[in-house]
Structure 1
Amino acid sequence: MQENRKEGRVKLQNNLDVYDCNTEKYMGSLVDISSDGFMLMSSEPIKTNTIFQCRINLPETVDDTDVIHIGVDSLWCKQSITPSHYWTGFHLIEINEKDRDIINRIMSFSSTPMD
């Protein structure tokens, strides 16, 4: 697969749970992130070329919030070497400034560079 990411990504030390805001369904665990997207590990394939409004639960309160709300577009989905796991790449399309700042802090404090 060709790498189209413009920004470097970081692997999070702790996975963050991601939920679909419209259905409240658990989507999976956010495992790496960049300033313009993230990769999710899930137990079911996620439909590609689909817009989602997501909630990311934070492990602790940051700037008086324990959740981030974002709009994303699912770009690709592929099965892991483990048959019951899937990887899905998302492009970030909507986020408020406070939540963007929180993501930047998460990236700088709890991550390992991957690129």
Structure 2
Amino acid sequence: MREQSRMVFRSIFRIKVADRDTGRLIGYVGDISEGGFKLLSDEPMALDVPVALQIRLRDEEGKMQMLDVEVICLWCQENIRTGYHESGCSLHQPSEEFARLVAGMRAKRASKSPG
């Protein structure tokens, strides 16, 4: 059972995910929670192997933020409708920065929701 609720993004291009070592773009975040995220990519992810990634997104002022994370892919499947490989990535190492990022996103969404 999922411990945290996921935030799903209307535009998948909002948060980019790159290989931390090479800087090569791997894909985009489809949804996110405190425990990890769903990665949408052209290539499948290897299962049960720690991977060093970098999350890239723009803050409210338009400045690029980059956050290093280490994740493990728990599952991967191709979405026939979109053509993307969807991978469930769980944080391998706890990250205060990642937790703050998700908390900030939750707070921003809560302030925009009606009533």
| TM-score normalised according to structure 2 size | 0.77
2:45 matched residue in structure 1: 46
1:35-114 alignment to 2 at 5 Å?
35-60=34-59, 66-82=65-81, 84-110=83-109
Q: 2:4 aligns with which of 7, 10, 19?
A: 7
Structure showing greater relative contact order (alpha-carbon pairs closer than 8 Å, 6 or more residues apart): 1
Identity %: 23
Q: Is the 8 A contact 2:42 2:84 kept in 1?
A: yes
Q: 1:8 is matched by which residue type in structure 2?
A: S
1:22 equivalent in alignment to 2:54:
no
Q: Which of the two has greater strand per residue? A: 1
CA RMSD in angstroms comes to: 2.4
Q: What is the number of residues matched between the two proteins?
A: 107
Q: Is the 8 A contact 1:12 1:107 kept in 2?
A: no
Q: Is the 8 A contact 1:69 1:95 kept in 2?
A: no
Q: Distance in 1 between matches of 2:69 and 2:94?
A: 5
2:113 matched residue in structure 1: none
What is the DSSP-based 3-state SS (H/G/I as helix, E as strand, rest coil) of the residue aligned with 1:94? coil
What CA deviation, in whole Å up to 9, does each residue of 1:60-94 have, x standing for no partner?
268x8711111111111101023731100011122
What is the DSSP-based 3-state SS (H/G/I as helix, E as strand, rest coil) of the residue aligned with 2:101? helix
| TM-score normalised according to structure 1 size | 0.77
Q: Once superposed, which parts of structure 1, at least 4 consecutive aligned residues long, lie more than 4 Å away? A: none
Q: Distance in 2 between matches of 1:105 and 1:83?
A: 29
What CA deviation, in whole Å up to 9, does each residue of 1:12-69 have, x standing for no partner?
244310011123222110010111011011111111111111111112268x871111
What is the DSSP-based 3-state SS (H/G/I as helix, E as strand, rest coil) of the residue aligned with 1:98? helix
Q: Is the 8 A contact 1:42 1:87 kept in 2?
A: yes
CA pair 109-12 structure 1, distance change in 2 beyond 3 A: farther
